Amino acid sequence: MEIALATGKFSAGVFDSNETFRGQTLTPERTVSCLELEFYSEDGGVTYLGDVACPIRAGYMLRALPNETRHSKLPLKTDYLKTEDDGGVAAEAIRALPRYSRIPDGVDPAKAIREILAAANAGDELLAGARFLQFLSQLRAGVKRASQLDRYTEERRRSGISRAIDFMETHYMESVSLGDIAASANFTPIYFHGLFRRAIGKTPFEYLSDVRMEEAKRILITEPVSIGEVAERCGFCSQSYFNTVFHRTFGITPGAYRRQELERYLKEDGK
């Protein structure tokens, strides 16, 4: 249902494609003529803003601007608000919203729109307008809070990964567990494992192994110690396991690598 408020300057309502486009799977393309906000109440198809696909998912919101083209793969059920782009505070608030995002926590579009419609049905356009502006204010504040939280969360993730890398590069010679590494970043092991892999492209243990292998190479070519001591100093519980990992990583055994680098050094020194 749609009710025009304040002499057509804004409107609010609920749209259900099962009522308007019964039996259809795709809406015709249209050009947006005003500022539009949609708040999806149920999972559905996909709505398009130009070439940008936005999944219709419960708990998400979409903002469309004048002259953008739109069409949707159905079904689609949404609460909505529309207003003319008159350059006023309402238009400014809507334009500042993200194109597609989660509805902020603590914001209830369905309740707000019911209250707007109730005031309009009672003939109180002034109250309807006040509720409309109040909701936009709540929505803008909620989006700002969510954005600040996202920035905080992202910074916490980056900081945690950085601390974990520092921990591994400092404690590579010790026997450390995933729990130890995750604790250095203040994350749970399972969450940290996935986060680290997405950010770095390797698991924590793959990164730790790389650190150990690089240190092993350094020791092998700069210090006259046994292979067993190299293994111990690089955090391996046995020389045989160290040999296996080194060969798997570089395609050569530690002893052969040491001889190869020594021969290269002597050959270059002879020149």
Mean pLDDT of the residues in the chain? 92
Residue 8 confidence (pLDDT)? 52
Sheet holding 10-16, edge to edge: 2-5, 10-16, 77-83, 35-40, 60-64, 100-102
134 and 212 both lie in a single domain: no
Range of the structural domain that residue 243 is part of: 206-270
Assess whether 29 and 138 both reside in one domain. Answer: yes
Q: What is the pLDDT of residue 1?
A: 44
Crossing angle, helix 204-222 and helix 189-200, to 10 degrees? 70
**pLDDT at residue number 87:** 84
Query: CATH code at 252?
Result: 1.10.10.60
Task: Report helix, strand or coil for 78.
Answer: strand
* Confidence band, pLDDT 50/70/90 cuts, at residue 7: very low
Whether 149 and 211 have beta carbons less than 8 Å apart is answered as no
One domain for residues 15 and 100: yes
* Cβ neighbours of 186 (radius 10 Å): 12
Cα–Cα dist 151/28, whole Å: 38
Give pTM, 2 decimals: 0.68
Res. 203 pLDDT band, cuts 50 70 90:
very high
Domain count for the chain: 2
* Model pLDDT for residues 23-36, shown as the tens digit of each residue: 899 999 999 999 99
The 10s digit of each residue's pLDDT in 100-115 is 999 999 999 999 999 9
pLDDT digits 0-9 by tens, 144-153 = 999 998 998 9
Please check whether residue 193 lies inside any domain of the structure: no
Instruction: Give the Cα separation of 58 and 37 in Å (integer).
Output: 14
148, 165, 191 - which closes a domain: 148
